[in-house]
Amino acid sequence: MKRREIYCLIALCIIVFPASMIEVQSVEIPEIFSISLLRANVADPRQNWALLMELQLPKIGIVVDFHESTSWSNVALRTWDYPLIDFDYIPTYAEGGFDLLFMNYLWDLDWNPSRLFDTGYPVTIGGNFYQYANPVYDSLLINYLSELDQNTHINYGKQLQAILYEDLPSIATLYERSLYGFKEGLTGIDALLLSTGADRYEYWDAPSDHIIKYAIPTDLDEYNSYIQDNFYDKLWMQGIYGSLFKREQTTRLWEPQIASDIFISEDNLNVTINLDPNAKFSDGSPVLAEDVEYSYELHMTPAVGSSYYWNLNKWLASNDSISTVGADTVTFNLSQTNAFMYNLFSYGIVDKSEVQPAISTYGYSIFNEIPLTGNVSDTLVKSCGPFKLDTYNQTTSTVKLVPNTYYSELLNYDSPLLDEWQMMFISGKDTAVAELITGNVDIVDAQYYPTIADFTPTGVKGVLVKGPLYQEIAVNMRHPVFGTGELTPLGTPESAKYVRKAISHVIPRTIIADEVYDGLAVPATTACPDMAVVYDDTLQPYAYDLDLALEYMDYNWDILDPPTTTTGTPSETSNGFTKTIGDNWIISIVLLSLIGLTITQIIRKRKMSS
């Protein structure tokens, strides 16, 4: 960019975004220390809010020397893959490590933070690049990862969150949202279970015609519960395959489906599950313990190519780890304790009396046959869930499910409310939204990446769903100022924590969520996503509060005149977000950041060339 163009762009920004839109700082804050920022050069909104933070940090005396945007491989060499050559820990950015890293994670309904913050997984073996160390956290994590009682497990999870919320090795920024389009009037849909591929279709309904048509943005190409790498194939399979346990609506805790009860030994390694005596396949034949045993043995047979082979073999030593007791009881002997073991009991059950002879005759090639065709027709898709497969068209990527009339014989369930559940591939967001508005489909999937404005016409609505993506600022806890605190005036870990809290209080999370993410995000509290079963919703995001942030910095450096904090620690009295900022503020900041970075890059290039 030429110099004249830069000046013109700056002038334009001054005209369009006047200074009144930017929060004015009442106290001149000197530079206290400087750092470098690190982020991956991926094309997502994180780039913009990272640029914003480059301008926010100087407001509390933290000057940004360098802001590196680079490949993930280069990020890794400074963090979780740091070579440990010059240092036996990850040092500061200037020494080859990092100071602050703009990071994201993809989580699940079961939050499993092992390896991230516990000292049992140091950076030398690919974990805890934060270099966070807290023995109380470590002890609680052990309990969390081994506790099988769901309510006790949740309690441990909330205690872990409270520690991370206070210590801030990870400065939580945003929880992202997914946006679905729904026809008005649909009932019984747990959108979070839908977005995670674990929905309970027996509760869905469209009262007007009892038919729901679901538009998806990609092809269907998988055929049975043993091959589930395509998320959308997994969705229709959730409707037909019954399993021992399923996620319950609303709480998302595990509850029996074709099981009647479960018994766990004192050492948490032996699990006995009794089947619902009324469980039946869609042809009316009973579900037996030998069907469960055989279904799991197939998952653990390498020739089948199961998507879950790796997971089951981690917890079950061999097929001998599964056995039956009579017709209605099956036992699992786990090789180690697993707090998330109910996931192991959520796999679809097939009819051994049909599948075993088919494999004997045709071999494992049957797992690659299109449903309702080939040598075994419906053998691999006949199961004991709420629906059965009616049609499957791979050419058009459409599938239709109809009720399994035997599902209502289960002890705890009634017949599905829908007469039909259909999934269909529609190419392009605009076409899918148009089909929703005209009534040809009832749900538009979030992976079309629609906007809120797409669902303003009468008769449709946008549904925001908690998503798996989480954004944070990762902290190097060995940094001598905001990590260990050794180079703060007071020289204590507590001093370092106050700096981290100050940083957290200058993140305008609400503005970033509304403007940078177009309303498809909310302020975050900890590294545990708010979609997780164990999420503690009593925690409140750190408020955007410049005054409070300065008080935390003043505790170390006495930068305020007169000082607002003379003794003790800053008092956080704000509840929620206390600052009101103009809607265009974030846009102005990001544009000015981009201009500043462009000028800096030009100056650096000239220096290098000279």
Q: Over the stretch 525-534, which tens digit does the pLDDT of each residue have?
A: 999 999 999 9
**3-state SS, residue 157:** helix
Q: How confident is the model at residue 559 (pLDDT cuts 50, 70, 90)?
A: confident
Q: How far apart are CA 362 and CA 213, in angstroms?
A: 35
Task: Tell me the pLDDT tens digit for each residue of 179-226.
Answer: 999 999 999 999 999 999 999 999 999 999 999 999 999 999 999 999
Output the average pLDDT for the chain: 88
Task: Quote the pLDDT of residue 581.
Answer: 35
Task: Tell me the pLDDT tens digit for each residue of 291-336.
Answer: 999 999 999 999 999 999 998 999 999 999 999 999 999 999 999 9
The torsion angles phi and psi of 395, rounded to 5 degrees, stand at -60, -45
Task: Quote the pLDDT of residue 27.
Answer: 66
Q: How confident is the model at residue 45 (pLDDT cuts 50, 70, 90)?
A: confident
Q: How far apart are CA 428 and CA 449, in angstroms?
A: 10
State the virtual CA torsion across 389, 392, 398, 403 in degrees, nearest 10: -10
Task: Quote the pLDDT of residue 63.
Answer: 96
Domain 28-105+115-130+167-176+468-526+541-580 shares a fold with domain 185-458:
yes
Task: Quote the pLDDT of residue 568.
Answer: 55
**pLDDT, average across residues 586-591:** 46
Q: How confident is the model at residue 16 (pLDDT cuts 50, 70, 90)?
A: very low
Is 8 a residue whose pLDDT tops 70?
no
- 564 CB-side CA count, 13 A: 14
CATH 2.60.120.1130 fits 185-458, yes or no: no
Number of Cβ within a 10 Å radius of residue 428: 10
**pLDDT, average across residues 248-265:** 94
Q: Which CATH architecture is the domain 28-105+115-130+167-176+468-526+541-580 placed in?
A: 3-Layer(aba) Sandwich (3.40)
Please report, for the chain, the start and end positions of each structural domain, with discontinuous segments joined by +.
Answer: 1-23+584-610, 28-105+115-130+167-176+468-526+541-580, 185-458
Q: How does DSSP assign 501-546, residue by residue? A: HHHHHT--HHHIIIIISTT-EEE--SSS-TTSTT--TT--PPP--H
Task: Quote the pLDDT of residue 26.
Answer: 59
Is 30 a residue whose pLDDT tops 70?
yes
Predicted structure pTM score: 0.86
